[in-house]
């Protein structure tokens, strides 16, 4: 590969001059710069990013931590969409993105160690549902600039979807459609879940509806199998709900499966609502009423915040950026006549 040294000897100047010319420093004459740039192009010179990083400690590389309990990875529609917009935004600002794993070559390591080895400028912790995990906290408490989504940590900027508003929208929608027996299968224990659960309860209260513990079941995110069992359980209650809110759209498939097996039809016999608003949701039968998260903005905002943090334009102690969404009305909720 052609290096700065080759350009230097071709131009009859020192390598320092070449470096400064290519980085457009002020103490190289325009004439020399022009000549250096020209020969650089002619020789097909390309800077070696690791040599540069070694000196400057800047890699223009962002780590992405993409792991969750369900381990669906990139096939997880919602997170894939978030990552996609993160990627687009980061790339347009000159940053590459690299997935953070637990190994480089033969060396096993923690996520944090991986970041240090690779010297990423910062890391986007996406698609993580357990922020209590030892490896995650190690990373979040480290000096590596970090941005998270859906996590309220004092340590690093966070992009949070407006889960309070989202859940309220869903419950109020069901209420307005005449439902009073609204069940909720919620996901794995997490900040998102507790926000949604609180909002579910608060909204019911504000609507003067009693909170029933038999209508609240802990399920799992992105897990149709678990959801299927729980949904079946709910409709077999003596006093079953008329509407069920599911942890996410993909899990809603589980509920649909459960009702098919029980020969119940949606929304005639039972109404359901999802969360996320993935593309799939609008092609399910019936179209799913769900709360659409703005994945486009979430990802882009995460990239902006992370880069701002890297450039020290902001500090870690910021108030989370809240991204709104909207209720996507499908046809999975029946309007009850007795309303």
Partner DNA sequence: AAAAATCAATTAAACGTTTAACCTGTTTAC
Partner DNA sequence: GTAAACAGGTTAAACGTTTAATTGATTTTT
* Torsional sign, CA 69, 75, 77, 83: positive
Q: Select from 9, 10, 13, 291 the one that contacts DNA (CB under 7 A).
A: 13
| Phi, psi angle pair for 317, to nearest 5° | -85, 75
116 Cβ contact list (under 8 Å, min separation 6)? 144
Assess 69 for contact with its own copies (CB under 8 A).
no
**Contacted entry of its own copies, DNA, none for residue 14, CB cut-off 5 to 8 Å set by kind:** DNA
**Contacted entry of its own copies, DNA, none for residue 233, CB cut-off 5 to 8 Å set by kind:** none
Q: Select from 34, 117, 225, 237 the one that contacts its own copies (CB under 8 A).
A: 117
Q: Where are the alpha helices (DSSP H) in 151-261?
A: 163-176, 191-206, 224-235, 249-261
Instruction: Lay out the site mask for DNA across 29-58 (x = CB under 7 A, - = otherwise).
Output: x-xx------------xxxx--xx-xxx--
Residue 331 C-beta: closest distance to DNA, Å: 58
Assess 27 for contact with DNA (CB under 7 A).
yes
Assess 236 for contact with DNA (CB under 7 A).
no
Residue 178 C-beta: closest distance to its own copies, Å: 25
| Phi, psi angle pair for 76, to nearest 5° | -80, 100
Neighbours of 331 (CB within 10 A): 14
Report how far Cα 259 is from the mean position of its chain's Cα atoms: 30
Strands 243-245 and 182-186: parallel
Assess 118 for contact with its own copies (CB under 8 A).
yes
Read out DSSP for 273-295?
EEEE--GGGGTSSSPPEEEEP-H
Q: Select from 6, 60, 308, 322 the one that contacts its own copies (CB under 8 A).
A: 60
Assess 10 for contact with DNA (CB under 7 A).
no
Helix, coil or strand: residue 338: coil
* 321 contacts 160 by C-beta, under 8 angstroms: yes
Q: Select from 28, 82, 177, 258 the one that contacts DNA (CB under 7 A).
A: 28
CA distance 81 to 71: 16
CA distance 195 to 193: 5
User: In the window 257-316, what residues touch its own copies (CB under 8 A)?
Assistant: 279-280, 283-285
Residue 22 C-beta: closest distance to DNA, Å: 6
- Judged by CB under 8 A, which stretch of 98-106, 179-187, 214-222, 231-239 contacts its own copies? 98-106
**Contacted entry of DNA, its own copies, none for residue 205, CB cut-off 5 to 8 Å set by kind:** none
**Contacted entry of its own copies, DNA, none for residue 32, CB cut-off 5 to 8 Å set by kind:** DNA
Report how far Cα 90 is from the mean position of its chain's Cα atoms: 14
CA distance 326 to 277: 9
Q: Which residues bind DNA (CB under 7 A)?
A: 1, 3-5, 12-17, 19-20, 22-23, 27-29, 31-32, 45-48, 51-52, 54-56
Q: Which residues bind its own copies (CB under 8 A)?
A: 1, 46-51, 53-54, 59-61, 73-75, 77, 80-81, 83-84, 87-88, 91-92, 94, 96-107, 109, 113, 116-119, 253, 256, 279-280, 283-285
């Amino acid at each position: 590969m052609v290096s700065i040294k080759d350009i230097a000897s071709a131009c009859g100047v020192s390598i320092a001059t070449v470096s400064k010319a290519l980085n457009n420093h002020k103490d190289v004459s325009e004439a020399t710069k022009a000549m250096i740039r020209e020969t650089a192009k002619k020789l097909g010179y390309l800077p070696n990013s690791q040599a540069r990083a070694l000196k400057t400690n800047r890699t223009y590389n962002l780590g992405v931590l993409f792991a969750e309990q369900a381990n669906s990875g990139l096939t997880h529609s919602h997170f894939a969409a978030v990552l996609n917009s993160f990627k687009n935004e980061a790339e347009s600002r000159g940053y590459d993105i690299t997935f953070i794993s637990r190994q480089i070559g033969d060396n096993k390591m923690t996520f944090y160690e991986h970041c240090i080895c690779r010297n990423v400028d910062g890391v986007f912790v996406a698609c993580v549902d357990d922020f209590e995990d030892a490896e995650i906290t190690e990373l979040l408490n480290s000096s590596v600039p970090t941005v998270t989504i859906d996590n309220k940590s004092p340590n690093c900027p966070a992009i949070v979807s407006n889960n309070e508003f989202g859940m309220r929208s869903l419950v109020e929608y069901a209420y307005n459609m005449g439902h009073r027996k609204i069940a909720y299968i919620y996901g794995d224990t997490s900040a998102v879940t507790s926000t949604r659960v609180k909002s579910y309860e608060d909204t019911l209260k504000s609507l003067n509806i009693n909170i029933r513990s038999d209508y609240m079941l802990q399920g799992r995110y992105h897990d149709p199998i678990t959801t299927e069992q729980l949904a079946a359980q709910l409709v077999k209650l003596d006093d079953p709900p008329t509407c069920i809110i599911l942890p996410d759209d993909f899990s809603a498939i589980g509920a649909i499966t459960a009702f098919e097996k029980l020969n119940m039809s949606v929304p005639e016999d039972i109404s359901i609502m999802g969360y996320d608003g993935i593309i799939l949701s609008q092609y399910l039968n019936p179209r799913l009423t769900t709360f659409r998260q703005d994945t486009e903005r979430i990802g882009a905002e995460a990239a902006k915040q992370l880069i701002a943090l890297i450039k020290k334009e902001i500090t870690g102690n910021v108030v989370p950026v809240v991204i709104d969404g909207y209720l996507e009305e499908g046809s999975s909720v029946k309007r009850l006549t007795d309303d």
